[in-house]
Chains A and B, each alone.
Chain A
Amino acid sequence: MPADDVLEAPNILEYPYARSTGPVIGRFMTGLRDGRIHGVRAADGRVVCPPTEYDPVTSEALGEDSFVEVGPAGEVATWAWVHEPHEKHPFDRPFAWALVRLDGADTAMLHAVDAGDESRMATGMRVQPRWRDERVGDIHDIEAFVPEDAA
């Protein structure tokens, strides 16, 4: 706490960035807008989701014919429960950040799991996306993943 004679004030920095997606993430985002989730098949046959522009092992460019649809359901690979969400979090109630491995994918994607209570979370649990009604082509088109048994 500063002394009484010392001034203080909020100092808010904003960077309103827009980012070019490129063809691969662009395709992923376009899919989200349509309610579909895409990954890419790498040279070793593994499916990477979210898709990468280059093969994670061989570094070869992954082309148009590499896209595969995955999910939309999957399983929680790892998770962390957020007891006290802050204002930038997707929910004002406790939730989990989780790496979700979608069905048909070999890598996991970071997203929120709206499970209601920590006791409902478990590694390996089945989850499915809860889509927004109005989708724009952004990761937030998936509002959260929810336990499959809750659907």
Chain B
Amino acid sequence: MSDTSAADPVTKIDTPIELRYRFTAGRAQSRFLRGVQQGKLLGQRCPQCGKVYVSPRGACAACGVATDEEVEVSDKGTVTTFCVVNVPFYDQKMEIPYVSATILLDGADIGLMHLIQEAKAEDVHMGMRVEAVWAPPGERTPSLEAIKYFRPTGEPDADYETYREHV
């Protein structure tokens, strides 16, 4: 609109959409989020299939039963899948290219999505071992931003069999 002069025909209009929600985390996820604020990753184990969910939702989606047992998992894990983001978009916080990955934390049975930094985008790969880089305790909020990003640990790659159920 404003990028055309008053004499040019109008060819474009701005039609922004804004949806204002209030997100309620629920009990299980609230415990998880308070945990990350303290530097802990708290999941829940399904009493039926034994799988550990991080972040937990209070129930096992496969078995349909409540998950009451709380389990702390490691802040180290394995990259199962990843995406190199090369496309700029509105309100982008990161400099491109950057890598968003699904990380299977040691002790967890479901992937967690987070950023991979301190590695070149082209070096990130399936099976890469990574660890959380936490924000300083005073700067942590009850959100996954309490972890700044994950970085390579330098350990040998995880055996494919250890994460094949998660790709």
Contacts and interface: CB of A to CB of B under 8 A. Distances in A.
A15 B1 contact: no
A16 B30 contact: no
Interface residues of B, number: 32
B11 A16 contact: no
Interface bracket on A: 20 to 34
B13 A16 contact: no
A9 B22 contact: yes
A102 interface: no
A25 B16 CA distance: 18
Contact of A6 (B14, B26, B90): B26
Contact of A137 (B1, B18, B25): B1
B18 A18 contact: no
B167 interface: no
A138 B96 CA distance: 34
Nearest to A15: B17
Contacts of A27: 9
Given A6-B27, A11-B23, A12-B20, A138 B90 contact: no
Most B C-beta atoms less than 10 A away, residue of A3, A7, A88:
A7
B15 interface: yes
Given A2-B24, A11-B23, A17 B14 contact: yes
Contacts of B22: 8-11
11 contacts: A3-B27, A6-B25, A6-B26, A7-B25, A11-B21, A11-B22, A14-B19, A15-B18, A19-B12, A26-B9, A30-B10
* Closest 6 A/B residue pairs (Cβ): A137-B10, A11-B23, A29-B10, A15-B17, A11-B21, A13-B19
